[in-house]
């Protein structure tokens, strides 16, 4: 027979063993944009002082919640291991692609999805006492497109970007001003321009800005049937021009890195292209390589 004291002790031990742990949580944030993007946050159980922030932007037909559970998207595990905080925007649009087509998103302060995500970054810095010099952005497919747009529209908020299977900032622009519009010419690889033209597109999203810009890591697969591999070249053209380096001659190259049949090309210190031969849409996130690019 258990005494009352023993039963109380057993109950206390059982209660203390039930620990919920960190959870992806939806939060309200000050948002002065027209677009009402939902904000989800993952704060690990052990957080670094003044932690880095990583903004993880989902693909089409996904949400913050489903993307966070995707085995190919390992950022929650990275957060648990290294103590940084992740922000997970969730698209408000039908089909859950991102608006990378309208003027509202393709310019600073335009009221679109990009402005809403910038508000999340500012809120995250304030709420979680995050290091404003260690804000990073990553995304896949439509999320990679938005990552490029964020780098062009809010370069002052972001230290580095690692994007998977996207298109150059502005490539998906809609001639009719459509919000969240698909662009077959761009997705098919037919939207091509000179480095100077692509660079101008990015610079014109935040006219007059001459401050620091995020370091860009660009991934793409050679067998991508959704976002044509030519888009990789257009992205390289764009960002090498922004940083004033050659788009045709890498300063260094590594074969079979970070994985077999991947080639990593560096274009100075600020642009890195990683081309995955035989890989389709989209390239799985490589946590180790992306974290290394971010310096976390």
What tokens appear for 158 in the block? 């972001």
CB–CB of 283/139 below 8 Å? no
Catalytic (active site) residue 141? yes
Residue with tokens 């610079």: 203
Residue 259 has what DSSP assignment?
Answer: S
Inter-axis angle of helices 142-153 and 195-203, nearest 10: 70
As beta bridge partners, residue 267 has: 271
- Give the CA count within 13 Å in the CB-facing half-sphere of 128: 31
Which of 296, 145, 150 lies closest to 231 in space, CA to CA? Answer: 145
Could you say which of 35, 62, 141, 162 is catalytic?
A: 141
Return the CA Rg of the chain: 21
Please give the positions annotated as active site. 141
């Amino acid at each position: 027979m258990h005494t009352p004291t023993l039963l109380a002790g057993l109950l206390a031990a059982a209660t203390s063993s039930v620990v919920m742990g960190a959870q992806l949580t939806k939060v309200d944030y000050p948002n002065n944009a027209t677009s009402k993007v939902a904000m989800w946050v993952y704060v690990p159980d052990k957080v670094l002082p003044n932690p880095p922030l990583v903004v993880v932007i989902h693909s089409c037909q996904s949400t913050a919640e489903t993307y966070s559970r995707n085995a190919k998207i390992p950022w929650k595990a990275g957060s648990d291991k290294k103590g940084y905080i992740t922000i997970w925007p969730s698209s408000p649009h039908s089909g859950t692609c991102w608006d990378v087509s309208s003027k509202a998103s393709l310019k600073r302060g335009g009221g679109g999805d990009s402005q809403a995500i910038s508000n999340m970054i500012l809120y995250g810095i304030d709420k979680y006492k995050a290091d404003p010099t260690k804000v990073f952005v990553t995304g896949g497919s439509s999320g990679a497109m938005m990552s490029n747009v964020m780098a062009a529209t809010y370069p002052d908020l972001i230290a580095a970007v690692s994007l998977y299977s996207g298109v150059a900032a502005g490539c998906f622009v809609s001639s009719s001003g459509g919000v969240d519009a698909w662009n077959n010419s761009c997705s098919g690889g037919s939207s091509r321009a000179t480095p100077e033209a692509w660079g101008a597109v990015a610079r014109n999203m935040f006219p007059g800005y001459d401050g620091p810009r995020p370091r860009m890591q660009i991934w793409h697969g050679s067998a991508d049937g959704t976002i044509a591999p030519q888009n990789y070249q257009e992205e390289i053209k764009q960002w090498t021009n922004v940083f004033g380096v050659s788009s045709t001659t890498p300063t260094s190259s590594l074969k079979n890195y970070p994985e077999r049949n991947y080639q990593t090309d560096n274009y100075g210190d600020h642009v890195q292209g990683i081309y995955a031969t035989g890989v389709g849409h989209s390239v799985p996130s490589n946590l180790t390589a992306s974290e290394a690019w971010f310096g976390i």
